[in-house]
A and B are shown apart, each in its own frame.
Chain A
């Protein structure tokens, strides 16, 4: 029986008087690309933030990779790769320095950081830009570096919140190819407003509406609307 990468039971999260997630329950199996779809304000980003340990639930139980985000925070963070719509890069540092910095934060040794930078920069076609300050790079190149940043420590679970925003077609294709190659040995939870793209690359889907789960199943059953 496959293990679950994410298990959520009766999860509730509020912002003041507004309930962002209302008693939601679902689970996602290890491996594959899981799509998390919903309109603006559906609760996708709140859920992603809870899974990535930066937001605490008000009620309910959450397990990610078998760990409790509140109790096993650092252990879990070391196994997550997170990409949001905004690159988490320091403008004054070069791409290489940014990747080295994040490698150090993830406790990697110098040699493995350098090797990983080499591999990822080749993979995402940013090798020739490695020693340029990221502030001079185009949005697409910065995004490619940001994706490389999220993968520097070879995470087990990728939490991708609108990762394709700001990416041109070529950059999206490179990233999609990477995800496709790791479909079997890594787990991906992906939010996107591009439902056609989501339907094309995801193995299954979960839909949220006004903080509640409205559907879950194999992507073949997804009707392409929310």
Chain B
């Protein structure tokens, strides 16, 4: 393993262990997601088709991400520990990738509980093609974590972080959200005019573009 990859793994591990001890952040993400599912189920369950209901899962994950990915860098900046990462002899992309992996893991934990609840409350099923579904959720969650981590890093210098964060996160994550909604609809309702594999390729391209671009310019957020 290269030194950058080792550093990324160490950063992700450190954040996951810290989070496992705090618990409340993952729990509050889950609570937010659960309340959203309940609100949607009251509003639309039984009135919309399964494909539309399944697409709502991504809207909930997208909004939960806005809430959960924001502290990824902002909390390090507030406690001052970001300086320890800034002066460490590791490439800056490894700090970014470590945070993306951490974001992916915490969102993944939320999704493990959230998706069955969504299927039950909103009356749809992902059981038709579980491998494809799993792959889509993995790539989609990684993509949102990549956007969320970069948005958090870009928000650090802002005075009004809670205002700036959604303004950065929303436009960059929306293209991924549109693709994910479309893929999920096809997975639930059957093939449409556009092959799902093509959409998935676009999604993978979006993920690669986001991580490589963010990784390349990330050092500007750590140094002045």
CB pair B22 A105 closer than 8 Å:
no
CB pair B80 A107 closer than 8 Å:
no
Q: Is the interface of A mostly helix, strand, loop or mixed?
A: loop
| Count of interface residues, chain B, beta-carbon cutoff 8 Å | 26
CB pair B18 A93 closer than 8 Å:
yes
| Count of interface residues, chain A, beta-carbon cutoff 8 Å | 31
Distance from A109 Cβ to chain B, minimum over Cβ atoms (Å): 11
CB pair B14 A107 closer than 8 Å:
no
Bound together, the chains give a CA A56 to CA B86 distance in angstroms of: 13
Distance from B94 Cβ to chain A, minimum over Cβ atoms (Å): 9
CB pair B14 A93 closer than 8 Å:
yes
Give the contacts of B49-98 with A (CB-CB under 8 A): 79-81, 83-91
Bound together, the chains give a CA A98 to CA B184 distance in angstroms of: 41
Distance from B92 Cβ to chain A, minimum over Cβ atoms (Å): 9
Bound together, the chains give a CA A149 to CA B3 distance in angstroms of: 19
Q: Using A53-B87, A102-B84, A105-B88 as known contacts, list a sample of 7 further A-B pairs with CB atoms less than 8 Å apart, ordered by residue number in A.
A: A54-B83, A74-B89, A75-B89, A80-B87, A97-B17, A105-B10, A105-B85
From B21, B81, B83, B90, A74 is in contact (CB under 8 Å) with: B90
CB within 8 Å for A107 and B3 given contacts A54-B87, A82-B87: yes
Bound together, the chains give a CA A82 to CA B10 distance in angstroms of: 20
* B47 in the interface (beta carbon within 8 A): no
Distance from B194 Cβ to chain A, minimum over Cβ atoms (Å): 45
Give the contacts of B1-30 with A (CB-CB under 8 A): 3, 6-7, 10-11, 14, 17-19, 21-22
Chain A residues whose C-beta falls within 8 Å of the C-beta of B163 in the assembled complex? none
Bound together, the chains give a CA A88 to CA B81 distance in angstroms of: 5
* A101 in the interface (beta carbon within 8 A): yes
Bound together, the chains give a CA A89 to CA B85 distance in angstroms of: 11
Bound together, the chains give a CA A104 to CA B22 distance in angstroms of: 23
CB pair B18 A105 closer than 8 Å:
no
Chain B residues whose C-beta falls within 8 Å of the C-beta of A82 in the assembled complex? 83, 87
- Chain B 174-207 per-residue mask, 1 if CB under 8 angstroms from chain A, else 0: 0000000000000000000000000000000000
* B131 in the interface (beta carbon within 8 A): no
Smallest CB-CB A-B distances: 4 pairs:
A88-B84, A78-B89, A77-B89, A92-B18
